[in-house]
Structure 1
Amino acid sequence: MANLTRRSVLRGSVGLATAGALARPHLANAAATTAELWWVQGFAQEEDIAFKKLLADYEKASGNSIDYSIIPFAPMRQKAISAITSGVVPDILELADFQFLPLNAWADKLVDVSDIVEPIKSQYIDTALRGTYTYNNVTKRRAYYAVPMKCSAVPFNIWQSLIEKAGYKLEDIPNTWDAFLDFFMPVQDKLRAQGMRNIYAYGYQLTANGVDPAILFQGFLMAYGGKNLVTPDGKLHTDDPQVREAAIKAITKLTTPFKKGYVPPGVVNWNDADDNNAFHAKLVVMDFDGFSTEVAVYKNKALYDDIVTRGMPLGNDGQKIPSPMASFGALIPKGAKNVDVAKEFLKYAVQPKVLNEYLKGGLGRWVVPMPEIAKSDPFWFKEDPHRTAFATETLIDPTVPLYEAFNPAMAEVNAEHVFSIAMLDVMNNGMTPEQAIDKAFKRAETIFAKYPITQT
């Protein structure tokens, strides 16, 4: 076993048993000025360096100490669940998925941090606020149970060199949804005709694994007018014909390229990182994922400059399509020993200038969720075309929270991969999109019945 010291960094992908074995005991006798913190390891080393600087600056300014561990995102998910279940929790925990916050807020296992968020609420983008404003089934009210610190819309990532090798220019790519997506199939055809036998048009996450497939489905659902599958009041609208039609179109648009050979056959077994890996290997021409795709090759200028980052195309009706937005940040589990220090650190970390410098240091993989400070800083909108496209989609173009924020039932729906299974039913089990969606909707209705929300 590794000798874990203060400021330990847990690296590598480890299983649940290993993650549990490596978990450090809670510092029950720690001084009142020390808080224990678990943070998610960045995709790029610069993210961790920037976070350590944030911690050092806070310690210097406050005189308090932060006893931290930086943990890869998959083991972090496992550790967080284990901690909240056992009651042996850190004082501060960064979110590592989209399900932990709504499910544990519902169960009254998190500290209300509204006193941190409310004083600076006017500086946040509304979507990030709504993404952390979750329902507690004990108090029967919503509150902020996480402090938003990072946000990300979902851009498309495209290899310019592959577009040009196929005989096209970037200007040839249409800007309405179906035409935009359909453009990449003949690109694959022409590249294969030149001998690139293992190239595919799309890096879609058509798998019942990880968190990315749920965002993929929500993005496509909204593109076809199904935004109201779950509304901010927490209600499920599977009885809405427009929502059902949008879901059918979304499933059809995602599964048809797979059946026609325009998506790698191995996607059915992918995890969250595999579409990034396939894109970096130039196995796929286009991917629909976060900005981590670009940040991972930031130091390789040739590759970095070859990637095109772009937001959502217009809808088929010519109107703007909202992008799903993931909001991440930090929370305080109930049972934390040093809540006062934890809150003091989070108040420090979300000062706009402090938060902005931290995220800039991490290469802008996450956008600062405060539009005005981003607009005043050339880093986000003027210095790099990738970041400009990413920040524009995230902070200026329309966005909506992930459905989990509206009702934790959606967290359970996505934990069961209900809509991923619908895709697999079409791809592998002979179902029509209509049959697959009706089956998925029925399961979603059963799950939502367990999560009644009485406060709008």
Structure 2
Amino acid sequence: MAPVWCLALCLLVTPLSACGETSTGSVPQITSLPTSGPANYPVPINPKIAALPPFTLTVWFADDYYNQAPIVDLMKEFKQAYPNITIAVDHNEWSKQRNRLKEAVAAGNPPDVAHQHAFVFGAQGYAEPLDDLWQQWGKDAAAAFLPNSLDDVTWNGVKYGVPLDINTTFLIYNKQMFKDAGLAEPGPDYNFTRLREDARKLTVASQGRYGLALTPGAWDIFGLVSANGGYLLDTQNGQVTAQLDAAPNVQMLQFISDLVNNDKVSPTPRFTPEASPVELFKQSKIAMFFSGPWDLKEIELRGPAGLYSNVGTAVMPHGIDGKTTGSVQGGGSLFVPKGAKNREAAFEFMKWAAAPKYQLRLAREMGRYPVLNDLYKDPYFTGQTILQPFLEQLKTARLYRLEAYAQADVTWEQSIGSILNGSDPKAILADAERAIQPTLNNPRK
């Protein structure tokens, strides 16, 4: 008789709608993986979960993950291991995922697994604490993860999820454009002052080409502020104080405003796909931009022939004076929204997503990089020169903690928009700091 997991029915992954919002895009039907012998699963079968009566596990991924091969195969294999579980997957654009999840929790109908920043939802009271399940996983489980990846799932010492991937921003540039302009490529001592000089020489207005392009998002600009030695929050004895108008922050916001409005070495930043820096880079309309490894994969897979061989990378410029270093930490995590019905099965699924098998596939196929320490010994990472600045930058990347405070996050992003439109950075950031300070006492408000 064949093993029970060979008899699994196909896994039907169906789109869901909740809170008055309808999913977009096509969702593939997923069938069980073919198998001819005992399975070698990436995570041992949990007998408690396997013994449960049939039920549906609802999973919400970001739009650019849910139908990618590593994620699809993860769900296939998990279903193969647990034929008593049907997975219903839905998807949302990354930023819209926040409000939709909050609405689902408030309505008492959350998914079992959600993909976003677990620390944000833990801070705001929308995620289940999972310390007990981490303890059951084993005392060495957390030690396998990059320490800063655990920051994405932890708030006030409590773990609310499992890290899925990690990234940070660094400098991506076109080597041929630097060569044609007679410029040395950015090196380990590169700073923003030299970047500005280079951007001026790389800009050819008559050809519609700019030295660089900026992304105006709150997270992205925090990466530039961090590179200049700036912080947005200060925590002392449990008290959180806003630092938006600190000198390094004002200096960096003035700097990027000047790049756009005075030097005109960057197009006006916009939140549209066609104006995204990576799209402009693929069209050879810009020479430099700040981004992460996912955009290296985008250029490799969908850029014009020959472009990827001309891509250079460097760590973030070392501040305006060359004396600081830093960037913003990104990536995402999986967590259990507050009130989810299948908490333990959800955690089991999250453990599978963090297994080396799928962590490596996320990197190789999607440019989403591992949260496990030992995987960075793999030849895929050690053998690629283009990835070394990313690996070095991870050491100084900092979590964008302001995101845990919803109103403060919005105020910061609005301030960036005003400054890029020509407003005075010091005045705008001083006003923003006064506005957000009362909101920092309780992120749940």
TM-score by length of 1: 0.77
Deviations 1:230-280 (A, max 9, x none): 34876444469xx61111111111111111212213x25547972332232
Cα distance 1:9–1:110, how it changes in 2: closer, same or farther (>3 A)?
same
Residues in 2 aligned to 1:232 and 1:146: alpha-carbon distance in whole angstroms: 26
| Residue 38 of structure 1: aligned partner | 60
| Residue 138 of structure 1: aligned partner | none
Q: Is 1:274 matched up with 2:284?
A: no
Cα distance 1:40–1:57, how it changes in 2: closer, same or farther (>3 A)?
same
| Residue 325 of structure 1: aligned partner | 329
**Offset of residue 316 of structure 1:** 5.3
| Partner of residue 402 from structure 1, selected from 400, 417, 422 | 400
Contact 2:23 2:92 (C-alpha < 8 Å) held by counterparts: no
| Partner of residue 295 from structure 1, selected from 294, 297, 310 | 297
SS at match of 1:170: coil
1:305-324 aligned at under 5 Å gives the runs 305-315=309-319, 319=323, 321-324=325-328
Deviations 1:92-131 (A, max 9, x none): 1111xx5xx4453234332212244453111112211122
Q: Is 1:428 matched up with 2:434?
A: no
SS at match of 1:247: helix
Amino acid at match of 1:398: T
**Offset of residue 401 of structure 1:** 1.6
| Residue 91 of structure 1: aligned partner | 112
| Partner of residue 408 from structure 2, selected from 393, 413, 428 | 413
TM-score by length of 2: 0.78
The RMSD of aligned alpha carbons is 3.5
Deviations 1:335-373 (A, max 9, x none): 32222221222233323x23433323534x121112222
SS at match of 2:387: helix
Residues in 2 aligned to 1:361 and 1:326: alpha-carbon distance in whole angstroms: 18
1:121-160 aligned at under 5 Å gives the runs 121-135=142-156, 142-160=157-175
Q: Is 1:181 matched up with 2:192?
A: no
Residues in 2 aligned to 1:380 and 1:109: alpha-carbon distance in whole angstroms: 35
Q: Is 1:337 matched up with 2:341?
A: yes
Q: Is 1:220 matched up with 2:227?
A: no
| Residue 110 of structure 1: aligned partner | 127
Residues in 1 aligned to 2:93 and 2:274: alpha-carbon distance in whole angstroms: 10
**Offset of residue 452 of structure 1:** 9.3
Deviations 1:11-56 (A, max 9, x none): xxx99955279999xxxxx95454221222337x9x7111112222
1:20-31 aligned at under 5 Å gives the runs 31=53
Which structure: larger Rg? 2
Residues in 1 aligned to 2:389 and 2:359: alpha-carbon distance in whole angstroms: 18
Cα distance 1:214–1:426, how it changes in 2: closer, same or farther (>3 A)?
closer
| Partner of residue 250 from structure 1, selected from 252, 266, 274 | 252
Amino acid at match of 2:393: E
Unaligned ranges ≥5, structure 1: 25-29, 136-141, 207-212
Residues in 2 aligned to 1:424 and 1:349: alpha-carbon distance in whole angstroms: 36
Unaligned ranges ≥5, structure 2: 1-10, 28-51
Which one has more relative contact order, counting CA pairs under 8 Å at least 6 apart? 1
SS at match of 1:250: helix
Q: Is 1:386 matched up with 2:386?
A: yes
| Partner of residue 68 from structure 2, selected from 48, 73, 80 | 48
SS at match of 1:309: strand
**Offset of residue 201 of structure 1:** 1.9
SS at match of 1:439: helix
| Residue 285 of structure 1: aligned partner | 287
Contact 2:419 2:428 (C-alpha < 8 Å) held by counterparts: yes
| Residue 357 of structure 2: aligned partner | 354
Contact 2:60 2:115 (C-alpha < 8 Å) held by counterparts: yes
**Offset of residue 133 of structure 1:** 0.6
Number of residues paired by the alignment? Answer: 403
Residues in 1 aligned to 2:134 and 2:197: alpha-carbon distance in whole angstroms: 43
Residues in 1 aligned to 2:195 and 2:421: alpha-carbon distance in whole angstroms: 22
| Residue 429 of structure 2: aligned partner | 437
Cα distance 1:320–1:251, how it changes in 2: closer, same or farther (>3 A)?
closer
**Offset of residue 204 of structure 1:** 1.0
SS at match of 2:182: coil
Runs of 4+ in 1 over 6 A off after TM superposition: 20-24
| Partner of residue 22 from structure 2, selected from 9, 14, 19 | 19
